[in-house]
Amino acid sequence: MTGHAGFARPGKDIVCSAVSALVQTAANGVSAYCGAVAEVRDDPAGDYVLDVPGGGGARAQAVLETTIAGLRAIARSHPEHVAVRGAGK
């Protein structure tokens, strides 16, 4: 993820919060239920990155695909604030 949604001022931006919550939930789900390592971090390029080294297996991929579906739903509701790129389909 890069940037902020710009829906509202920082601390009040429910669109940004929704996206962040989905990504954090995916990382927690992958770690807790899929037996994989997941990390959310700020990288030096300024991106907010969910990293699952090696892909994490089929269960982890299901969690990640579900997360992408949720991000796409938010993008459909708020196309001026969220775009999903490079995630296939």
Please report the beta strands in 1-89, taking only residues with DSSP state E, as ranges in sequence order.
39-42, 48-51
Per-residue H/E/C for 19-58: HHHHHHHHHHHHHHHCCCCCEEEECCCCEEEEECHHHCHH
pLDDT given at position 88: 60
Q: Percent of the chain at pLDDT above 70?
A: 97
Q: Distance between CA atoms of 38 and 17, rounded to whole angstroms?
A: 20
Instruction: Find out whether 5 and 13 touch, Cβ atoms under 8 Å.
Output: yes
Q: Say whether pLDDT at 89 is over 60.
A: no
Global pTM reads: 0.84
pLDDT digits (tens, 9 = 90+) for 45-63: 878 889 999 999 999 999 9
